């Protein structure tokens, strides 16, 4: 499996999750390093790490725009009790990432393979660095980033 195959799998997995929950269109973004750095510095992200294991081990970092998760929470709360909004936003981003990572690893590992996922973990003050393992996707005029690492 090459990098283009993995990028396609990531795109499909993000699309399935965001289209199901937010009816949001997801587009691949091929950005230069300069454009990537600008997007990273101009946006506020919730960073989540989740480990995986099948015949390979590794982890995925997801960087989801804070504003996108606020939109998801507003959709869930439907103008009800806003006092729980911040806690619900964290729960929501962890659940989104779990769904995305489960889909990605399920597709990479193959239908007949068993795989394990660790619990998604919120990363505080995570610095994002441009690399060839960082993929950008556009969702409702926001950029989501995903990094995948194999041990």
pLDDT at 102: 95
Instruction: Tell me the CATH class for 3-150.
Output: alpha beta
pLDDT at 89: 86
Rounded Cα–Cα distance for residues 139 and 27 (Å): 7
Residue 150 exposure: Cα atoms within 13 Å on the Cβ side: 9
Rounded Cα–Cα distance for residues 132 and 130 (Å): 7
pLDDT at 135: 79
Domain chopping of the chain, boundaries? 3-150
Tens digit of pLDDT at every position of the chain (151 positions)? 788 898 889 989 988 887 777 666 665 656 666 766 666 665 688 899 999 999 889 999 999 888 888 877 877 767 666 677 778 888 889 999 999 999 999 999 887 788 999 999 999 877 777 677 777 777 777 778 889 988 8
pLDDT at 101: 96
Rounded Cα–Cα distance for residues 97 and 127 (Å): 18
pLDDT at 29: 58
């Amino acid at each position: 499996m090459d990098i283009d195959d993995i990028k396609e799998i990531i795109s499909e997995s993000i699309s399935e999750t965001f289209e199901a929950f937010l009816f949001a269109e997801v587009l691949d973004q091929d950005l230069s390093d300069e454009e990537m750095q600008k997007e990273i510095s101009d946006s506020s992200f919730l960073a989540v790490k989740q480990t995986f294991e099948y015949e390979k081990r590794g982890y995925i970092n997801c960087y989801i725009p804070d504003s996108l998760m606020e939109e998801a929470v507003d959709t869930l709360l439907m103008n009800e009790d806003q006092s729980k909004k911040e806690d619900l936003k964290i729960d929501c981003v962890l659940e989104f990432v779990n769904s995305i990572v489960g889909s990605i690893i399920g597709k990479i590992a193959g239908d007949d393979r068993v795989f394990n996922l660790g619990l998604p973990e919120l990363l505080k003050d995570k610095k994002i660095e441009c690399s060839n393992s960082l993929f950008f996707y556009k969702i409702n005029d926001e950029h989501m980033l995903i990094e995948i690492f194999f041990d």
